[in-house]
A and B are shown apart, each in its own frame.
Chain A
Amino acid sequence: MQFLTKRLTYLFTATKGLVLVAIALIALTTAFMGTLSGPMHEWGVTSFVVQNFGLRLVEAEREGRIVLLYHTIAIAVVAIETYLITGTVSMKTEEQTRINGTITVGYLLTLIFGLMFGYFGHSWIAHGLFIVGLTLTFFAGTQLAIALWPWSKSYAVKSPERAHWGKVDLERAAFFVMAVATLGSALFGGVTGSFYGNGQETFLAENVVREPFKAPLQLAIIGHLHIMLTLIGVALTLLVGRWLDFKGALHKWSMPLFIVGTAVTSLGAWSVVPIEPQAHTIIYVGSTIVLVGALLLVIAGFDNLIRSNLAAQGIRKATVAQKVRALLRDPLKFGALWQMVFMNFVVSFPGLFMAAKLEDIFRVWSLRQERSILTGHWHVLSGIIATIILLLYADMAGLRGRVRQIFGWVIIVASDLAFAAASAYSSRRLFVTEYTETSLVNTATLLLDIGLGTILTTLGILMGWRLFDLFKNKGRWQEEANAAQTQEDIL
């Protein structure tokens, strides 16, 4: 019994244990849902899974199922980020415990009962518990925002190298603004969800983009999904900054940009309902400010990696090649920053190009072709966010030496291959006609499957190792549990 108690205590109280559980559950969900589409579907795995697991997949309910699936995974990701914030941003221990406890129950209810309602018949009890899960997650977010209050004297800035305004720690303020904006954006979607969820008609945003007259609540859903993903990205970027000990002159520029950019982008997304045409401009301004803030983080992060690795090697005057080697020495930290750079090539720049050429190119295509690039765009962004979380977690989990190198580089190469292929596939009409697309489609699909398959396999190995470790008396889990009791900064 003690065997189980100790491990459950670690898994559900220590920050690293909580993150591990959430990643494992997302991995399991992804693996299971992966059997319902793509190559698994073509190989007949779907039929086997549907029959043997008792899934109930009614054609007319597909969009509703997908909305539930998106929420189950997104809320688990929000939980991971919350654990990382409470584990690394100063706050009272009881606040950390309360927030982590609330969001753990919240995301577990959301994930378990959301999937149950969506895929295993329509028990309204399950739907109710799904809503309870979302509500608890929102409540945890409210507690987090309170705990992050930046004007508290207890958390006045101590280091002059960190961005501050008077004694207010601007990094803490950036986390606070992100948390408040997330709560507002969740409400923005929650009100909409209440309307559409109560016997109304579910739809996917990508299917209504060309409707000439959109209902306010349709616009709200489009705004909600965009801003939530953006805020998940902002939170993760701030966490990467903590991880890499971001400070100095660029930190002082970056944090105000994050604060203003996050606020402006959120207000822009919320404005989609009353003033849609102007809202786009507000969003462009806000997201550009956020991207500049992230760029400063990347520049400082690369510089920091080069300096620290050269110093570790005792090199004072380095050649360009030595600097490059120093930059690439730690694939986990380099990878987190590189993925942010890579995101611009497969998400930001294509997004801007699409906005600029919407009428001339993309609206000339059929809706299905435009939908392909729209869904590709945000799936790739979600994927990049997931890989950065994995790289960060691998560092937290203590991967060292050769394993760290292999894990890091496999995630970087496989994901970039997959995301580049996904981008090429989704925007293929820019390069080839429908008649001559076969080669590109086949190649891109193959590379996408190889890339994603490699990432999932690598993730599976990592999770397998952590599962195996749980059976050891003095495993890695024990070290992490001990560290949690001494309130060690998890990053």
Chain B
Amino acid sequence: MSDDVSVMTGNEAAATAARLARVQVIAAYPITPQSPVVEQLAAWVESGELSAEFVAVESEHSAMTVCIGASTVGARTFTATSSNGLAYMTEQVWWAPGARLPIVMCVVNRAMAAPWNVLNDQQDSMSVRDAGWVQLFCRDNQEILDTTVQAYRIAERLHVPVMVCYDGFLLSHTMMPVAVPSPEQVDAFLPPFTQPFTVVDPADPRNVGPVVLADPRADETGAVRGGYMEIRALHHRALLDALTVIPETDAEYAAAVGRSWGGLLWEHLLDDAEVVLIAAGSLGTQLTLTVEALREQGVKAGVLGIRAYRPFPVEALREKLAGRRLALVFDKALSYGYEGPICSDLRGSMLGVEGAPAVFGAACGLGGRDVTPDDLAEAARRAIADLEAGARTRETDWINLHLEG
């Protein structure tokens, strides 16, 4: 297998996955740290190594609009963005899932302005977590490649778009070995997208994207169709179905390619852990070192990594966390005026669960603030001390914050 391993950045891994998925339409606007993804794809389209339409656009809003148009007529589409680019795209970020289009977008996680900052946190994708996309987070470059390929299978089975989130610079610009599956392996896993669900056919004209008001209404044949609320309920149901489809897809991928990523969640040294450290993305990779260090000091610690953030894997989390003493959630984003989004969601999912752990939150890495495994271990020790002092809830712990006074 070693011949298939290349040392590459996370951005190259994402572009390679799009190529292997035989995407047909790519539309994107460059933004740091996403730019190398689409530069690489543009080069492959130009050289003929990738048979796809590359549509250069003047903004992220237009990039998603092109993807929506292309996906509506049945093309397999790809885009990628970061930070303010995602924010500028937001109107269409909502349209794509509402229209049930299986678009795949890589979000190379970067802090939101103001102030300007090109470095990593996860505020950008968190800000659109409610738009109805599946959101998957990656812990290393291999997972970026594998998850981006898997994302098409998930999207096309459920008719929902999938956002593949990975940390800017920490993964996007860091080179590491990545095994590249053969085109034959990926083709066997991911057949062409041929379902007619969204195809526009001149011989079978139809009205795409009509206004749908509150009440159910008759279609052109007279059959009664759902109103807005029914359409949204079906969309919600599709997201909940992803709780099954994501692990199934991961298992199918393992059968075809030989690697799996845990489906909804992943874990490290969790079996007997009393203290569970929780994060999404590459922070989870660093947490594996943290818990190994904590165990050397006699703390039974483990990692539970969030791979699927939307849909939120409530049942899987309850099963993994019941009976633990403490769940410490590290968020690289904040709902300003409240707390980290993963922390809130996790605490909510633990309510009423017998043996639920105390749930504490920590904010870290905002705007690229460095956070080392040692910093994370220190945060874990602070949380354990708070718990032992009797706390059951706690204010968000800001890691490596240097406010004056």
> Are A and B a genuine interacting pair, yes or no?
no
